[in-house]
A and B are shown apart, each in its own frame.
Chain A
């Protein structure tokens, strides 16, 4: 059940803060990525969250690990971001989110849930993936899924560090309203032709891709994933070959400019 079904009133202070945030957003002229980034940083300030991630997903199967591409995040250290990627690819994460992904599959509409609403029975704390989430600096979670264009959908997570109090239903409502009523922010940041190919990578290749896109170098990737530099070199080579590039800057450019590989 969506905590929203009944119409709730927001406080004067919350309403003012939301309007100020959206008004400031309207003063930004630097494109979609900068606007998403600004809105999410503002939302985190509003509901006192520590970190956030916005993923564009092209392949969505309930009960399976969602395959994300086109990440935008804030509030993670490079090491936490690597752990975050590992946690997302872990099979337990998909299982924990089953109730949400099934509901989305059924309703195909924008849903926003607190961790306790997704994982009613509290499996999270006992799951094998729990320590990885903690290492990523994530314990309290608001998850929001919204259909975008081109068969893509946005999965947005807003997080608090371990040891902090859980988000309230009010925090979840504010997140839902802000993410729900700005539809153009959900337009896919990269074309389906590029995004959907990511599903053909293996989980480790995909994690490597996402860390490369976050401008981490091979040494950092090896350290953060606990792999040998030789192994990471192999993954990096796979990723470069897959996207037909010869350098990390060229790879980043392909994703930033959505150029379909047509690098001049």
Chain B
């Protein structure tokens, strides 16, 4: 095996973990916590921490989360309905020198740096090159682990309520007349809604709309 190659068993374990993360309901925080928990198990770390820092000297910690394995995820600082409150670094628990640390840093914008650390008690052995390598692969290649907010895709502007209702019913396979009856408006109005929806989504028929919509090849 070349020095930087990845054993198939390790690759499988990481793919399985990431696949599980993809099936977790909820937004960024739930998935981030699940992935970092799994990564701790994988690398034999006892704790992870994530924090955002602001310049000039990265002395101000904007947000932080940490979790001790086999415990619960705890916001180090206040995590209020998903919004993390600014605090000073001195409130952070010391990471070193009481533990071995794997650290990943990423500049999010000129004003913010994200740091993720995996920690292991000093009483245990240091992280092996394999553990360190595999962990850094994940932390490097999954940018959203560092993000503060969830930006899955550009949200299209919202449809007007009746357009949205018409769209929902079109996607259920209903025809124009049925939709008119259900919403209680004239077939002519429904036709104009449908024309607008087709134009908006760049399709020429209801079947095309349904087909593309199910595959997410059109922006909502």
Chain A interface (Cβ < 8 Å from any Cβ of B): 4, 7-12, 14-16, 18-20, 22-23, 25-30, 33-35, 37-38, 72, 173, 177-178, 180-185, 214-215, 217, 245, 247-254, 256-257, 263-264
Contact = CB atoms under 8 A, between A and B. Distances in A.
A182 B16 contact: yes
Contact of B15 (A177, A215, A264): A177
A80 B124 CA distance: 59
Contacts of A19: 14, 18, 137-138, 141-142
Contacts of B23: 184
B179 to A, nearest CB: 11
Contacts of B170: 249
B141 to A, nearest CB: 4
B22 A28 contact: yes
A109 to B, nearest CB: 14
17 contacts: A7-B9, A9-B5, A9-B8, A10-B5, A10-B11, A11-B6, A15-B5, A22-B18, A23-B18, A23-B145, A29-B152, A33-B216, A34-B215, A34-B216, A177-B11, A215-B205, A264-B172
Given A15-B137, A16-B137, A19-B137, A253 B12 contact: no
A20 B8 CA distance: 16
Nearest to B18: A22
Contacts, number: 141
A252 B206 CA distance: 10
Contact of A249 (B6, B27, B35, B206): B206
Contacts of B145: 23
A11 B5 contact: yes
Q: How large is the interface on B (under 10, 10 to 19, 20 to 34, 35 or more residues)?
A: 35 or more
A8 B21 CA distance: 25
A155 to B, nearest CB: 19
Given A7-B9, A11-B6, 7 more contacts: A9-B7, A11-B5, A26-B18, A26-B24, A38-B216, A183-B19, A185-B19
B49 interface: no
B128 interface: no
Contacts of A257: 172
A256 B174 contact: no
Contact of A10 (B6, B22, B142): B6
A263 B215 CA distance: 21
A217 B206 CA distance: 11
Contacts of B11: 10, 15, 18, 177
B207 A249 contact: yes
A34 B211 CA distance: 11
Contacts of A181: 12, 15-16, 19
Contacts of A252: 173, 207, 210-211
SS class, residues of chain B in contact with chain A: helix
A185 B20 CA distance: 10
B175 interface: yes
Contacts of B215: 33-34, 37, 72
A247 B15 CA distance: 41
A10 B11 CA distance: 8
A18 to B, nearest CB: 7
Interface string B143-173: 1110000001000000000000000001111
A181 B214 CA distance: 24
B41 interface: no
Contact of A182 (B22, B144, B152, B171): B22
Contacts of A245: 173
Nearest to A183: B19
The 4 tightest CB contacts between A and B, nearest first, are A253-B173, A182-B19, A23-B142, A9-B5
B173 A263 contact: yes
B31 A26 contact: yes
Contacts of A184: 19, 23
B175 A247 contact: yes
B172 A263 contact: yes
A162 to B, nearest CB: 26
A43 to B, nearest CB: 12
Contacts of B137: 15-16, 19
A178 to B, nearest CB: 6
Contacts of A214: 211
Interface string B163-201: 000000011111100000000000000000000000000
Contacts of B214: 33-34, 256
A185 B23 CA distance: 9
